[in-house]
Amino acid sequence: MTTLNLASLYEAVAAAVPQRTAVVCEGRRLTFQELDERASALGHGLLAAGIAPGDHVGLHLLNGVEYVEALLACLKIRTVPVNINYRYTDRELEYLYTNADLTGVVVDEAFAPSAARVADRCPKLRAAVVARTGDAAAEEPSWPSRVHAAEYEKTLAGRPTTPPLADERSSDDHYIVYTGGTTGLPKGVVWRHEDFYMAALKGGNHYGPPYLTAAELAAAAAASAEGMVYMLTAPLMHGAASYNLFTSLLGGAKIVILRRFDPLQALRLIDEEKIGIVMVVGDAMARPLADTLRAHRSEFDLSSWFVLGSGGAILSRSIQEEFKELLRPDLFVNNGFGASESGVDGTIQIGADGLMRLSPNPRVNVVDGDLKPIPPGSEEIGTIARSGHVPLGYYNDPDKTARTFPVIDGVRWSILGDMARVEEDGTVVVLGRGSGCINTGGEKVFPEEVEQALKSHPAVMDVLVAGVPDSRFGERVAAVVELRPDAPVPGADELREHCRAHLAGYKIPALITFSESIVRSPSGKADYRWAKQFLTSENDEKETPRA
């Protein structure tokens, strides 16, 4: 097997399809060759600025051509790109910058003042490249004297467009994905390039065996239909979005990127660019898109759209049915199941019983507390685990690494936080995150199942479920609900009655409260910390009998 380095793989594809359009964002269009040359020039510019192989470089950017170029540039010069959540406060940025040991940052001008403020408390940071993207900040950044700050275009201007460090790259080079998850501080998941390529990108082939050489990958890209077009609606600093970006680039396909999520702009671009595959993150993005589709369907030609994909959050059965009704009955819905800690583990199907099922995968197991596989047909609940191409661990956190990525009999595992059981035929029934499991009077309730039931009510836009204290049962099930605009307003009792057709009595929320909006991360991930705090403040501590 030849070197499976992400930069080298991209360069092979770019050489095979140089004149195809690679990326489109806000009117800017780059071919594969243009993208490759600009990324190479930026890589040379970063080296000249003192960034060295093995250094960590933050990508503190909104979606845009610059994000894609900077990501590839870092990989080309064997530095480690680190995704930065641009919604973070200065305190959160300081934690992430220092935890990741950033020596450099590529930052949008709108975020440069924040980056400059925290740079004073991040002693390893020595280089900043500021992208002038038209979103000027109200203040000018004031960088510490030790930080060499330069403009993005000036950093790459006049630099060589030949690939830097091409002969030095390795399958063992690192790629880090920081994940905020749904609880706790952000954690940096450290991948080898080869493991990331095989696990998160399916070896460049989501429909068959992996391509094991750059030549195989490039040949497949050249042979693929040039009309395949992806749309990315989620922020690239989200792990699932980066998976989709690499999938399109290594497949020789065009990807259209939204700088910020705008459902009406998305429909317009699907029409103009003839997009076939649209990627969202769960119902938080899909529901506004469906509502806009319902209101403006007749204004656009959407006949090219044949796949709706979700990563990072599961699309509810109700929203899947709504898209098929609004768009086309044969719309293929790909509910991707995976994590920053494991890559792509399969596709979720939601049955009429509301349960989420994952097809059998030889690399995915359900294990007990002793990390032993649970046999099919057992009613025992365990934890989903993946073996094979998995990350090396969490950056700067040996304790969590030992718990999440144990090595057993010489095999490294990724132990995910999702609880599950295994049916007789090997199908995995995914129950939900163990950290969010609600214990009410000894009965375990997984929030995801309750959320699926509530989302099937036509008036519900979004919902999060969490446990709140109860003096009788320890915890009770509680839900915070965001209603659809202009929908008839249901009462809490109506929503509980709706749930009775889907859930056992002890799973029906004892407390239902309403909010104008559900708080989620920029990528659409659930913020269960906010939900629990919100619901606990609403909890009147009454001893509520079970439904």
The structure's pTM equals 0.87
Distance CA 37, CA 14 (A): 10
The reported pLDDT for the residue numbered 546 is: 43
179/295: higher pLDDT: 295
Contact 450, 428 (CB under 8 A): no
CATH code linked to domain 437-538: 3.30.300.30
Pairing state between β 438-440 and 364-367: unpaired
- pLDDT tens digits for 66-79? 999 999 999 999 99
Distance CA 169, CA 508 (A): 54
Read off the pLDDT of each residue in 229-235 and give the average, rounded to a whole number.
95
Q: Is it the case that residue 310 has pLDDT exceeding 80?
A: yes
Distance CA 529, CA 447 (A): 13
Q: Is it the case that residue 20 has pLDDT exceeding 60?
A: yes
CATH 3.40.50.980 positions along the chain are 6-11+31-160+171-205
CATH 2.30.38.10 positions along the chain are 356-434
Share of the chain above pLDDT 70, in %: 96
How much is the mean pLDDT over the chain? 90
Distance CA 438, CA 457 (A): 22
The reported pLDDT for the residue numbered 220 is: 96
- pLDDT tens digits for 361-393? 888 899 998 888 899 998 899 999 999 899 999
Under the banding of pLDDT at 50, 70 and 90, the label for residue 81 is very high
CATH code linked to domain 356-434: 2.30.38.10
CATH code linked to domain 6-11+31-160+171-205: 3.40.50.980
CATH 3.30.300.30 positions along the chain are 437-538
Query: Which neighbouring-strand residues pair with 254?
Result: 229
Read off the pLDDT of each residue in 110-114 and give the average, rounded to a whole number.
95
Residue 117 belongs to what H/E stretch? helix 112-119
Contact 390, 413 (CB under 8 A): yes
Residue whose C-alpha is closest to residue 191's, from 167, 175, 212: 175
Sequence-distant (6+) residues with CB within 8 A of 537 are: none
The reported pLDDT for the residue numbered 542 is: 41
Q: Is it the case that residue 547 has pLDDT exceeding 60?
A: no
Q: Of 29-43, 316-330, 333-347, 409-423, which has the strongest mean pLDDT?
A: 29-43
